Amino acid sequence: MKKITTFLCVSVMLQSVAAQSFIQAYKDRADMVTQTNITTNLQEFGNLGIKTTGSVANTNTLNWIKNKYTSYGYTAGQMVESTFTYGSKTSKNLIITKTGTLYPNKFVIICGHYDTINGPGVNDNGSGTSIILEAARILKDVPTEYSIKFIHFSGEEQGLVGSSHYVNNVVYQGGVRKLDIKLVFNLDQVGGVKGNNNNTVYCDEDQGGVSSNNAASAAVTQQLRNCTALYSPLQTAVDPAEATDYIPFEQKGEVITGFFEKIRSNYPHTSKDTFANVDPVYVYNIGKAAVGALQHFATASTTSTLNKTASVHSLEAVKFYPNPANSILNIELPDSKVANFSFEMTNLTGRSLLKTNNETKINVSALEKGVYIGILKVGEQTVVKNILIDR
C-alpha cells in the first residue's frame, strides 16, 4: 500500500477523450470480467492467511497464483519464478509472459504485489491480484501487438524489495538494460471501502522522481482515464504516483501509471483487511477498466472472437434502473425470453431484506436511503450490483 500523503494534488480537470475511440471488441472482453470470479479470487486470497514475505502462507499464495495461470491454459514455459532474499528469508516474484505479434520484444507490464502484512490483505493487495488474474484469463488467446508481462511481486510491504530486485537484476543486468518496457501499469489497494459509494478510481500519475518520464506518464495516465470511462462505469481522478511497485521502474526512467482506490480504507496492514471489509463490486468494475486499458496499452486485436448471441444474452448486461431508485426499481434482462429468475436485495453485511421471483418491477419503498447489494440469479448464473436508494 502507498504511504499517506498529507498533500494530495488532485487533478479533476476535464480533458478530451476524443483521441481514443471506443472499440467494441475491447468492451466485449472487459465485460468478460465476472463478479463471480472476482469474488472467488478475493475470498480464496483471504483464506490463504497473512502472507508476510518469506512465510509459508506467502509461498502458498505464490502457488495458488501459479495454479490459476495453469488453469487458464498458460504453460510452465511462460511462467518464471524469480527468487530474492530479504534479510535471512527468501521469497519469489512470479512473472508470466504472453508474446506479442508485432513487437515481441517490447513489453507492457501489468503488476501488483501479493505479499501482505499483519492481516490477510484482501484489499492490499488481494484486490489488484484478483484483477490481474482476470485480465490474464480473458486475454490468454487474444492476439496483442506488444508482449505482456503479468507480474506478481512479493516483498512490497518491506519497502518494494521484490520489485526493486526485479528492476535491478532482471530488467537491468550488470547495469545494462535487458528489457524494453513500453509502460508499467500497477494495481495496488483497489478494494474500496464497504458501505460507501465507491464510484471513482484514482489513476496514478508520475509527478516526481526522475523528471524525464513525467510527461509520458501523464499521457498514459490520461489514456487510462479514457479507458476507464469507455469500458467501466467508474469515474476517475488523478493522484501522484508514490510508494508502490512502479517506483523502482520510475527511478530507471520507465513510464508508469496505476490504479488506487479513491475512498481510502483504513484496514490495510491490519487483521481487518478481510473480504468482509472490501467492496467486491468496486473491484469488479476496476477489473473491467483494467482489461479495457490493458488491451489499449498492448494493442489487442479489434476483431471480436466473442459469439454475438452469448454477448447479448450474458447476464452481466442486466440493467437495474433508476439507480439510485426511489420507490420502484426496474429489472431489464438482456434476454427478454428469460422467464425464471430470482432477485434479492441485501444490506452490506449480507442480510437479506427483500426477495422476489420473476418480477421486473420491484417495490423498494420500504428500504431506507443507502447502499444495497442486488443479486440476480438465472439458473447457474449470478450477477451482483450495487443499488442505491435515495429519496
Note the residues at the interface with Zn ion (CB under 5 A): 1, 124-125, 188
- Taking the least distance from each CB to Zn ion, the nearer of 259 and 320 is 259
Task: Tell the smallest beta-carbon distance from residue 44 to Zn ion (Å).
Answer: 18
Q: How many other CB atoms are found less than 10 A from the CB of residue 56?
A: 10
Task: Please give the full DSSP string across 327-350, using - where no structure is assigned.
Answer: SEEEEE-SSTT----EEEEE-TT-
Report the Cα 307 to chain-centroid distance in Å.
25
Q: Is the dihedral of CA 207, 164, 182, 74 positive or negative?
A: negative
Task: Tell the smallest beta-carbon distance from residue 95 to Zn ion (Å).
Answer: 18
- Taking the least distance from each CB to Zn ion, the nearer of 48 and 298 is 48
Task: Tell the smallest beta-carbon distance from residue 257 to Zn ion (Å).
Answer: 16
Residue 215, CA distances (Å) to 14, 208, 243, 255, 257 in order: 18, 11, 19, 9, 12
Task: Tell the smallest beta-carbon distance from residue 17 to Zn ion (Å).
Answer: 29
Task: Tell the smallest beta-carbon distance from residue 135 to Zn ion (Å).
Answer: 18
Report the Cα 352 to chain-centroid distance in Å.
28
Q: How far apart are CA 38 and CA 133, in angstroms?
A: 9
Asked if the bond preceding 322 is cis, omega within 30° of 0, the reply is yes
Write the DSSP symbol of residue 78. Answer: G
Q: How far apart are CA 159 and CA 164, in angstroms?
A: 9
Q: How far apart are CA 287 and CA 292, in angstroms?
A: 9
Task: Tell the smallest beta-carbon distance from residue 117 to Zn ion (Å).
Answer: 9
Q: How many other CB atoms are found less than 10 A from the CB of residue 321?
A: 12
Task: Tell the smallest beta-carbon distance from residue 53 to Zn ion (Å).
Answer: 12
User: Which residue number is nearest to Zn ion in terms of Cβ?
Assistant: 1
- Taking the least distance from each CB to Zn ion, the nearer of 232 and 265 is 265
Task: Tell the smallest beta-carbon distance from residue 35 to Zn ion (Å).
Answer: 23
Look at residues 373, 187, 219, 169 and name the one whose alpha carbon lies nearest to residue 290. Answer: 187
- Taking the least distance from each CB to Zn ion, the nearer of 1 and 220 is 1
- Neighbouring residues of 174: CB distance < 8 A, sequence distance ≥ 6: none
Look at residues 220, 310, 203 and name the one whose alpha carbon lies nearest to residue 19. Answer: 220
Task: Tell the smallest beta-carbon distance from residue 40 to Zn ion (Å).
Answer: 21
Q: Are 36 and 382 in contact (CB under 8 A)?
A: yes
